[in-house]
Structure formats: C-alpha cells, structure tokens
Structure 1
C-alpha cells in the first residue's frame, strides 16, 4: 500500500469519526429534552408548579375538580370520596383510597398510594402543609376559586390548568366555551327590572344569601349584574345562608328566587330530609311573593353543594336562561 493511499485512508477515518461524533447526542442536551418532554409547568393558587406528566398516582380533594377529572376519565389512587356526590363515578370505585371528609380526614392514608400529584383545595385547603409532610415527593396543585378574584374567571382558570396537566387542552377549552355561552344567554335574557333573591335551604330552614358573598349564588350577582331584592349590611358567606326572617325575605318582593338545597347533596337519604321546594311551598309568608306566584323559583342542581365544577354552573346557567327566555317570550306574546 503506497503512502498516498494510507494518507487518504487516515483522512477518511478521521472524517468518519468526526461525522459520528457530530451525529451523536450530547448527554446534557438529551437529559434536558427528556425532562422537557415529561414535565409541565402550571400556575396555581400558590405560584408556579412543575408536574411530572402523565402523573402515575393522582389524589384529588377539591370539589370543584371532581366532575372534570371524572368526565376526562382520570384514574384516582386516593381522594376525598366522602365529599363526592353519587353523581361522580369515583364513588363507585372501591379501589380508590377514601381520605374521608374534611371534618374527619384520614390524611395518613395518602402515604400508601405514593402520589406524584395531589389536586388539593376547597374544604381540604387547610391540609396543604400536612400533605407536604406526608407526601414530600408529590406536586401539590390547587385551583379552587380564590375569594378575591372573579368567580367565573376562576372556574375557567381551574379547568385550563387541569387541561394542561392531563393533556386535555381541547376538552378544557370546550368546557370554558360552554360555560361562557351559558353566561351570555343569561346576560342577554335578564332584565334589571327583575329583582333577585338568593337563598339556601338547610335543615328545613331558609337562609338568605348576600349578593357577591359565598361560592355559589352570591357571585352570580356580580356575573350577571343582578338587581338584589334585599341587601343586608355585613352579609356573610355562611354555607347555610344568613339568619334572616322569612317575613323580611317576603317583604323584599323578589321577582326571581334562586335556591340551593344544601341537604339534597348531603342528607337526601336521611329520614328527616325535607326538599327545599316543600319548605318554600309550606311557608305561608312567601306565598304572595311575585317569584312564587309567577313560577320564577329556580333550583341549583341537587348535587351543587358537593359538586362545584364548571359543569355544574354551566348546567344551571342554561336552566336559568331557559326560564328567563321563556318569560321574555311570554311577555312578547301578551
């Protein structure tokens, strides 16, 4: 073999080696790509959270997320099953570890499922730090509506974050769009000439809901700019409503009454349960109220108190729009 051939062979070998080196992956870059491909960063109530996706062991304790997770078919390893209404299929899944109610939780049970994601909040919000102690390797995400923010925007924010975590962005957008559409229908059909009263029926008692307060009916006054039939100084956000006499409610002559039957969600199977509709019908003081006489009493879905999902509000707002549109049509025909 002559020197020229040896030289060409050496050059070829060197170029080949360089080509192979150029084609090979930088270990640091490869690791970075892998990390980027298996995590997602979201903003929740406590700031920026990095979630490993897809999460392998999910725990859920926030009532505003249950129906969304259920609809998307997200399996749960553990959750506050005792807080879920029977309209959520997780209540029929015996494999899910029940952490109990917020009043008597079994928080230590979360250790057994070794979660990598805990969707916490709502009634369980007070246990965030305890979960951090029990499951230090888990990412805790909280998207329950914040009191200081617009309620409708908060519901959409929450479902958007869940969509990012579970790769359900399109489904999350559909829920937000349906929610916006239901709001638009009510806004278009409602007239400020109609005064509105919100009440919660619990234990057979009628409680007054102060406009803007609480997490169910109160925010509707802001979303739809309802005209309050009654405004009481220092109204509270008590989950059973404020203690105001039925006579005072009747004297305000509401044209529309929005009702949440709290017991329908928590004690409908109990022997002492009295439906909210019966309580109102049996109240002599309310019988001459315009809303009662005109059939303008509307009830939130029976599971609302324990199912505070964006779907629950979409369903109710569409029902409310149906009622308002029907009334408007009737007025035109008269």
Structure 2
C-alpha cells in the first residue's frame, strides 16, 4: 500500500479514542464536543449535532448511507440517486448559482457541512449563522486527491460517531485503488474527457476536473498533453481529430449531462458521442472497447463511493485485458 494512503488511513484511528465517550453520550441523550481539523484549522463540533445543514455534494451520498438527518441542504444540487431528494422535510437551499442562504437561518444549525461549489458562499453563511460550526473538507490543492477523500470520510465519521462505517468506506476505496495500480501498465496511454452538449472536453492531467487527479494516483501515461489545460467543469476545447491523432489506448469519461440533463430531448449520451464518432472509429480505445465511463450521477455527486465504483470498473476493464 502506498505510504500516502497509509498515512491518510491513520487519520481514521486517531478519532477512535473519543468514540466510546461519544457513544455513551448518545445513549444517555446528552451531547458533547470534539475537536476536528478542517480546511480552516481546528474546529469544535457538537456531537451528535442537533441540526445539520449539508451543502457539499461530495458528502451527500456518505451522509445518506449513514442515515444522517438533515435540517437543510442543497437538495436542488443533488442527483435523484440520493435519498434526501425524496425527503420533503429538508429545507432546500437551492444550488450554488442561486442559493437561498437566508433559509439556512430557519434550520437553526449547529453544524454546516460546506465545500466544493458552496465554498464561495462561506463568509456569507458565517454571517447568517454565527453560532454554527462550519466544516469544510473540500479536497485541498497540493494534497494527494485520494488522501483528501479519505480525510473527508474519516472526519465525518468522527463527527457523527460513524467510525466503523467510515472505515468500511475507506477500506473499499483503498482496495479499488490497489486494484487499478496492480492492473495498469504504464505503456498504455490514457485520455480523460468530459462530454456535454454533444461536445467533447479534454480533462488535463493532474489539474483537470474530476478525472485529472487520477493521472497522479495511478501514474497514468497521458496520450496527449495540451498546453495551458484548465480545471473547468466542461473541460478544455479539443477536436476529435486531436483525439484521433493521439490514439489513446484508454479513454476515461465523465458524462456531465448525464447528471443534469438526461431528461432533455437533446441529450447526447457520452457513449453515442465517442463510440458513434466516425472520426474516432480507428482509435485503439474505441476499437478495443477500452472506454470507461464514470457513474451517471458523478457530476453532482463525486463522493468517495462514486470513485470507488469507478475505480473498480476501471480495474475490471484493465484486468480483462490481461
């Protein structure tokens, strides 16, 4: 196991010493506080929190799987695969583009889980609910991405007394990472793309949205490196001719519209865009059916479970070529 993963996994067990006291507090109906580290430093968090607002879409699936009750959340940002979308008791804060931040006040939260798209609104949220603890565990730039997902999961486990459940998620995640690392041959070139509006966007190694960090995680060999690649959610403009010329052995895909526009009559599934392109017909990845798609809800999910599912799918495909 890579040292970075071992280090991150160790974070989980650091919180175990307090878990017994937390369980006792819950059984007696009382509450206590714990100290956790987030992107702003040390935070004092009431445990168990009495009113939770969730705004970071990386955390929605994890919280739902643990049956965490939410007072308010960015429900409009959730894919319908998240059970909270069917809970009318949750106050909907809306999306990050047009949020109803004042609605957070009505939830009287003692904990706000912020991050990703809602990070831009953190100062305003702090003004509106000054007595709430705002926890932001968005993966930090310059840190190994997989370690950051583990950090987020283990810290949430500490907050909600779900250390065992967090350990299970981390173990499954680490296993999926090891599977890809064992199966991938660095002589095989890889291109990561996103599709939206029937167009293909190039995802730059390391810095590109969602799939970019995986080049570092798995030591993937880029089929093509574009100067000044960005991190936008639609990727960088790229022509099908450029993809064809680079002839990747593998193509990794996030279908952006699958999460937000699948019901639109004009929606073009990523498989149609890539596998139906005459210009890409002779590309190795297309001919050998070595295209791996992220889960359909990835664009508005991006949880540790999402990546575990994708890594296992990638590992399955790699192992099938052995």
* Counterparts of 2:227 and 2:265, CA distance in 1: 36
* Alignment match, 1:83: 77
* CA drift at 1:313: 0.2
Matches within 5 A, 1:173-322: 173-322=167-316
Task: Report the secondary structure of 2:34's partner residue.
Answer: strand
Q: Taking structure 1 as the reference length, what is the TM-score of the superposition?
A: 0.86
Give me the whole-angstrom Cα distance separating, in 1, the residues matched to 2:88 and 2:96.
20
Question: What do the CA deviations read for 1:96-141 (whole angstroms, capped 9, x no partner)?
Answer: 0000010000000011110000000100001111111111110000
My pick for the range that moved more, 90-99 or 232-241, is 232-241
State the partner residue of 2:319: 325
Tell me what 2:90 maps to: 96
Alignment partners' CA distance in 1, 2:68 and 2:42? 22
1:37 Cα deviation after fit: 6.4
Partner residue, 1:14: none
Matched, 1:66 2:49: no
Aligned twin of 1:13: none
- Of 161, 164, 184 in structure 2, the residue corresponding to residue 170 of structure 1 is 164
Q: In the alignment, is the contact (CA less than 8 A) between 2:209 and 2:235 conserved in 1?
A: no
Instruction: Look up the match of 2:4.
Output: none
**Which consecutive residues of structure 2, in runs of 5 or more, have no partner in the other structure?**
1-27
Q: Shift of the alpha carbon at 1:214? A: 2.8
Q: Which runs of 5+ in 1 are unaligned?
A: 1-33, 329-334
The count of aligned residue pairs is 294
Shift of residue 215, structure 1, vs aligned partner? 3.7
Q: TM-score, normalised by structure 2?
A: 0.90
Larger radius of gyration: 1
For residues 52 and 86 of structure 1, the distance between their equivalents in structure 2, rounded to whole angstroms, comes to 30
Aligned-pair CA distance for 1:147 = 2.0
Residue 213 of structure 1 and its aligned partner are, at CA, apart by 1.3
Distance 2:252 2:292 in 1: 5
User: Alpha-carbon deviations, 1:190-228, whole Å to 9, x = none?
Assistant: 001110000000111001111001341101100000010
Q: Is the 8 A contact 2:56 2:114 kept in 1?
A: yes
How large is the RMSD of aligned CA atoms in angstroms?
1.2
Q: Deviations over 1:73-98 (max 9, x none)?
A: 00000000011000000000000000
Task: Give the drift of 1:281.
Answer: 2.5
Matched, 1:153 2:147: yes
Greater length-normalized contact order (CA 8 Å, ≥ 6 residues apart): 2
